[in-house]
A = this chain, B = another copy of it.
C-alpha cells in the first residue's frame, strides 16, 4: 500500500475536478490515425482445385491507432482485449459512453488497439477446418471454439451473484448487457502455435513504436509479461488487468520483468459469484504473489485492488463500467509517475 498515497490524492482531484463527461463534447483532434499489421508468416497450403501449393499469410496481428497532436509527449499505449472479445472492448461502452481508447487519446496518449492473432480483423488459420471438412483430418483435430454464453459472461464478468441479478453496487451497466453480448465472438486461440504469436507481435510492436506500454485484460492480462519475456526491448511499462498470474518464473525471468514498471488491477466482488469457470480470488492471489516476486527482484510492481481504494462494485469488464474514466485516470496517473517519472499534483 506504500505507493497509494498518490492515488488518494488523485481521487480527491477527480472528486473536485472538472466533469469528465465534458471531454465527450469537445471535438477530437488527431495528428494522424490508421491501421497496419505486425508479424505474420507465409504458410503453404493445397491449391484450390489441385495443382501446386499456394501461399497464405497467418499469425499476423491487426493494429488500429490514433495519435493526438501532443502524442510525442507521452509513451504510446497498446491495448489488447481478452477471451471471446475483440478491440471493441476498449471502444464505446455497451451503454454508449466513451471508451478508454478515445479517453487516452484525449489525454494526449497515442493509442494502439490490437486484435489478438486468430481473432477479428487479424484473421485465423482456417486450413484445419477445411482439412476436417474434406476428410483429410479427423473431427478431433478441430479447435475447441470458445463462445461465451450470456450466462457465462454474467458469472465470469461478475455482474451479479446469479444470472439476471446484478450486485446492488455493481458498476457494469447491466441494462445494456445485450450490447456486450454482441461483442462476444468465437475465440480460436486453440488453433495457435506456441509461443502465442500475439506475444511475439506485442513485443515487436513495442519495439517498432520505440517504446510502448502494453496493456492486457483477462485472457491477455499476462500477455504483456509474456511479450517482455520474449523481448523486453521496447516495453516501457506493463498494465495487467484481471487474470491469473504466472508464479513459477525463473530468477532470470523475474529479473527481466523487474526492469519494467508493472501495474496489476483487480475490481470488486472477487468471491461473490457462485458459479462459473473463473475463480477470481485465486487469480488475485497468484497476482499478489507475482507482484511480490517482482518487487523482491528489485522491480517496481504494484497491485491496485480497487476496493482497497474505496472504489466499489467494479466488474471484470471494468473498462466498460460506469466509472471507467475514473479508472482510466488511475492508470494515467500511474503511467505518469511510474513509467514517465513525473510528479503527480492535484492541479489538472
- Residues of chain A having any CB pair with chain B under 8 Å: 24, 27-37, 40, 42, 45, 47-48, 54-57, 60, 62, 64, 69, 86-88, 91-92, 96, 98-99, 102, 115, 120-127, 129-130, 132-133, 135, 139-140, 142-145, 147-152, 178-179, 181-186, 277
Which of B35, B54, B182 is A88 in contact with, Cβ under 8 Å? B35
| Interchain CB contact under 8 A, B150 and A55 | yes
Report whether B56 and A150 are in contact in the complex, using a CB–CB cutoff of 8 Å: yes
CB < 8 Å neighbour of A185 from B28, B122, B149: B122
List residues of chain B with CB within 8 A of the CB of A55.
149-151, 181
Contact call A149/B33, Cβ cutoff below 8 A: no
Distance of A246 Cα from B83 Cα, bound (Å):
40
CA distance A336 to B91 in the complex (A): 32
Assess whether A145 is in contact with B132, with CB atoms less than 8 Å apart: no
Secondary structure class of chain A's binding surface, majority of residues = mixed
Let me know if A69 and B27 touch, CB within 8 A.
yes
Give the number of times this chain occurs in the complex, counting copies. Answer: 2
A56 engages B140 (CB within 8 Å): no
Q: How far is the CA of A91 from the CA of B145 in the complex (A)?
A: 29
Q: Beyond A57-B178, A185-B122, is A139–B133 a contact (Cβ under 8 Å)?
A: yes
CA distance A102 to B152 in the complex (A): 38
Shortest distance from the beta carbon of A13 to any chain B beta carbon, whole Å: 27
Question: Contact check: which of B57, B62, B132 meets A132 at CB < 8 Å?
Answer: B132
Separation of A92 and B36 alpha carbons in the complex (Å): 7
Contacts of A125 in B (CB 8 A): 186
Partner of A179, one of B37, B178, B183, B184: B37
Say how far A223's CB is from chain B's closest CB, in angstroms. 19
A102, B33: Cβ atoms closer than 8 Å: yes
A204 smallest CB distance to B (angstroms): 14
